[in-house]
Structure 1
Amino acid sequence: MGVLEDVFGFITSGSLGGLPPIVMMIIPFVIGLIVGYLAHKMLKIAIIAAIILVVVAYFGFFGLSIDALKGVADIYGPIAIQYGILLMGMLPLGLGLVVGFVIGFVLS
């Protein structure tokens, strides 16, 4: 019981960079809520856009080629990796982010 009292005491009365620790725990949760909500909304739009793109490509109005997709992957792949590394660097704050993301995704 002494450990729990120490943890709760630190959360309620400590300071991390001038901010209370509870604020440092809430920020990733709120960011996760926002990102989860927006991801859910954007996923709906992306699915509709993909269906329209497939239909347009099927009728020949727009051409999809493997070379064009490889070019896009070469351009945007490193950028996606950089953002992935940034997210992996946030792993200590990740639990609140993941919980917020799931709640934001489900409740939207």
Structure 2
Amino acid sequence: MPLLRELLGELTELLDEHGIDLSFTMNGLLTDGEWIVANCYISDEGGEANTLYNSVRGTFDFVDGKCRILPKKPENDYLLVGSEKLMDTKKDGHSVPANHLVLVESDLSINSLPITL
């Protein structure tokens, strides 16, 4: 995480140093196959960040013509992290606030942390 925070900070500083008066937005996702670190970042805190969502744990299914995440056996659990919301229901997914990291550990526990530069 420190490297990601450093990268976002340096890119934001480059804009300032060169007098570029634009908001810098970046969603990103890094994984080592066990952990996931995803970010939703905007340099201008008053601006509108790109969207990022994470789902709840469960099994992806198609119910009544709609995609849903349903609770199932733990060995079938998974979750989704994406820039677009795949499900229509609030309980299936959560919006990641601007300037936050989402950490998904190997046991699929999810934590959200603010990005502080």
TM-score (norm 2): 0.26
Higher helix fraction: Structure 1 or Structure 2? 1
Query: Whose strand fraction is larger, Structure 1's or Structure 2's?
Result: 2
- If you compute each CA radius of gyration, which structure gives the higher value, 1 or 2? 1
The TM-score with structure 1 as length reference comes to 0.27
- Structure of greater relative contact order (alpha carbons < 8 Å, 6+ residues apart): 1
